[in-house]
Each structure stands twice: as structure tokens, then as C-alpha cells.
């Protein structure tokens, strides 16, 4: 799900990039987090929901 690369200028630095599979998984997870956040905040007032 993640590809790791070594920086060409600084070999101590590691770079990471999501694969297509990783991107798909991240999008699914984000949708689930947003659903749970909506459920947790549905009964809050508008003022309380600003936090």
C-alpha cells in the first residue's frame, strides 16, 4: 500500500508514496471516519459544533 524511496540528494531521508491500493484504502477509511464524526456530533448545538 506504500512505496518507500530514498532521497537522491540525502540518502538518510526516506520518502513514501501511497500505491493505488493504499489510496483506495485511505479514501474508504476517511469516509468511515466522517460517518462516525457525524454520528458523534449530530446532537451538538451549532455553537458547540464549531470546536
Residue 11 in any domain: the answer is: yes
Print the domain residue range for 25: 2-43
CB 7 within 8 A of CB 13: yes
Distances (CA, A) of 48 to 9, 34, 51: 48, 17, 6
Residue 34 in any domain: the answer is: yes
Residue 48 in any domain: the answer is: no
pLDDT by 10s per residue, the chain, length 51 = 999 999 999 999 999 999 999 999 999 999 999 999 999 999 999 888 776
pLDDT of residue 35: 96
Residue 51 in any domain: the answer is: no
Q: How many domains does the chain have?
A: 1
Amino acid at each position: 500500500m506504500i512505496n518507500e524511496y530514498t532521497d537522491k540528494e540525502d540518502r538518510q531521508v526516506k520518502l513514501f508514496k501511497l500505491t493505488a491500493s493504499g489510496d483506495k484504502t485511505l479514501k474508504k477509511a476517511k469516509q468511515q471516519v466522517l460517518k462516525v464524526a457525524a454520528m458523534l456530533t449530530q446532537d451538538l448545538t451549532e455553537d458547540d459544533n464549531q470546536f
